Structure 1
Amino acid sequence: MTPILFAMPGNERQAAALAACLPGQPGDAEIRHFPDGESYVRLLSRVARCDVMVVCSLNDPDTKLVPLLWLAAALTEGGAARVGLVAPYLAYMRQDAIFRDGEIVSAHYFAALLGRTFDWLVTIDPHLHRIHNVGEIFPQPAVVVHAAAAVASWIRATVPQPLLVGPDEESRQWVDEIARLCGADSVVLAKQRLGDRAVTVKAPDLPAPDGRTPVLVDDVVSTARTMVASCRLLRQYGYRAPVCVGIHALFAGTAYAELKAIAAGVATCDTIAHPSNCIAVAQQLAAGIRQALQELPCSGDRS
């Protein structure tokens, strides 16, 4: 039976791009808030015995989570065979270790909560460092797809003589692969985080510019403190203004304006709707969805 695709509010553009890559039909639901702020969800499409997927990029997760869970519950009560979550951006993955007494590893709890609700998950480049794969923490089948090929294609078409630069060691996994696909060199800077909005960046092995354009690549751009500090460091070493590329465009507060003021350009993947979106990843997500639907059993098991 043809899958049905629902878009949570704010995810309509991503859902439309996926629908163009997949067989399926759009689903309809009323999702709004009561005057007191509580969430209201009403299922308007018939979903009995159908495969259903919900597209919801989980930036601003504390606001989005309750209506997402209510929609999933309505789909299950409506008789859907399987309910999957397509989360181009998966939140809370950066909180993957305990640094001070009294903290929790939020990544484990967030993934477990979603796993109790959805039969499968497809996401793109989650920020995993100490956790090696989403399957370690998500109790249902999960497919992770990658933006490297799409990012590399954009860089090849847009940036002459690129030098791929990772702002910190955590970015190496993305930077080295993108550089390989571009046929370019890469280097990784050394970052020390001093707080939520304060970092220092050093360049232990930065090569000579040689006319190359530095392309800073990171998976998540939130406060942009790391990107801004890296831009300034590269300029101190004689490089032209860098092009900054992010996979997930969180951009808290004035971060986007501050980065635009110092960079030659800012480009992001369209995992989170943002004016900086230049790199489409619908084809990658669609491939992950096809894999999930082909490999999973006929019905979910949330036990």
Structure 2
Amino acid sequence: MIVSGSSSQLLAAALADETGHELATATYDRFPDGEQLAAVPAFEGEEAVVVSSTASDAAWVELLQLQDAVREAGANEITTVVPYMGYARQDRAFRDGQPISARAMARAISTGTDRVVLVNPHEPAVAEFYDVPVTVADAAATLADPLTDLTDPVFLAPDAGAEGIAETVRDAHGAGETDYFEKRRDRETGEIEITPSDAPVSGRDVVVVDDIVATGSTMSEAVSVLRERGAERLVAACVHPVLVANATTKLRAAGVDRLIGTDTVERGCSVVSAAPAIGDALK
């Protein structure tokens, strides 16, 4: 039985199709005082797969409630799929007195599940914070599926840490070069400086690939440089299209011709699904 959080209903349905598992109809309500109540139908002696991205604090509460609800409903074994794990970038205390939020969240999830599946966590080390077995699913290759008409493409990562994802997308596409930008963040101001790579982009299609696009600031800087250097078409591709505030507008204004994301965070640009990668991880 697959049980979906309210923010992951399309992905849960796609996962049900992918695996052949039944899709439960969860309900999501609130009490008059604003407290949430996520509930599931009863079932006996089955494995429950709870699928819920945690892009908001409310989604975290809902996920913990769903884990508890499926246990109360009779599930013998619970697998929790976290397509997008919020707070995963806070994998260490950056200043004295700060929490390691990823660890706190991982421990909370661990209390209500038998195993966890994560999709392309921003910091792979967060898997070690869980107290139950963790499987990491890689959905990056699916970003190549819509890229059917590229001309002499270059796949660029915004920084060295994301070059592996760019290589995965390039390999899935079957042709092209990869490179990355140098990114430096000022510790005092938090401002990011993007230094262009040496890859020739004039007259070529460029796909800028990252695991997460949140505010769009880093990718917009990269895209603006590429546009100035004569790139033909610019595609922004990411596994997790968080896209807060004016991120989409910011990317378009910078010169992005097309924005592609998966359904780990369900947005208008979620044109490919992480369900096949998650299905493989569940086997």
TM-score under structure 2 length normalisation = 0.92
**C-alpha offsets along residues 147-198 of structure 1, whole Å, 9 cap, x if unaligned?**
232123333x142221000111221221123223333211110112247973
In structure 1, what residue type is equivalent to 2:88? M
Counterpart pick for 1:38 among 29, 35, 39: 35
From 24, 43, 46, the counterpart of 1:47? 43
Q: How does 1:106-185 map to 2 (within 5 A)?
A: 106-128=101-123, 131=125, 134=127, 136-155=128-147, 157-181=148-172, 182-185=174-177
Q: Match of 2:281?
A: 288
- Counterpart mapping for 1:1-303 below 5 A: 4-43=1-40, 45-60=41-56, 62-128=57-123, 131=125, 134=127, 136-155=128-147, 157-181=148-172, 182-194=174-186, 198-203=191-196, 205-209=197-201, 211-261=203-253, 262-290=255-283
Q: Which runs of 5+ in 1 are unaligned?
A: 291-303
Give the conservation status (yes or no) of the 8 Å contact 1:198–1:225.
no
Query: Where do 5+ consecutive residues of structure 2 fail to align?
Result: none
CA distance in 2, matches of 1:282, 1:49: 24
Partners of 1:229 and 1:197 lie apart in 2 by 14
- Residues 29 and 267 of structure 1, relative CA distance in 2, 3 Å threshold: closer
In 2, the alpha carbon distance for the partners of 1:244 and 1:166 equals 10
Alpha carbons of structure 1 residues 177 and 11: separation in structure 2 relative to 1, 3 Å: closer
Return the TM-score normalized by structure 1: 0.86
Count, aligned residues = 280
Amino acid aligned to 1:79: G
Once the two structures are TM-superposed, the CA of residue 146 in structure 1 deviates from its matched residue by 0.8
Q: Which amino acid aligns with 1:17?
A: A
How well do the aligned residues superpose, as a CA RMSD in angstroms? 1.9
Q: Percent identity?
A: 26
**1: CA distance between counterparts of 2:184 and 2:213?**
16
Report the residue type matching 1:22 in the other structure.
Answer: T
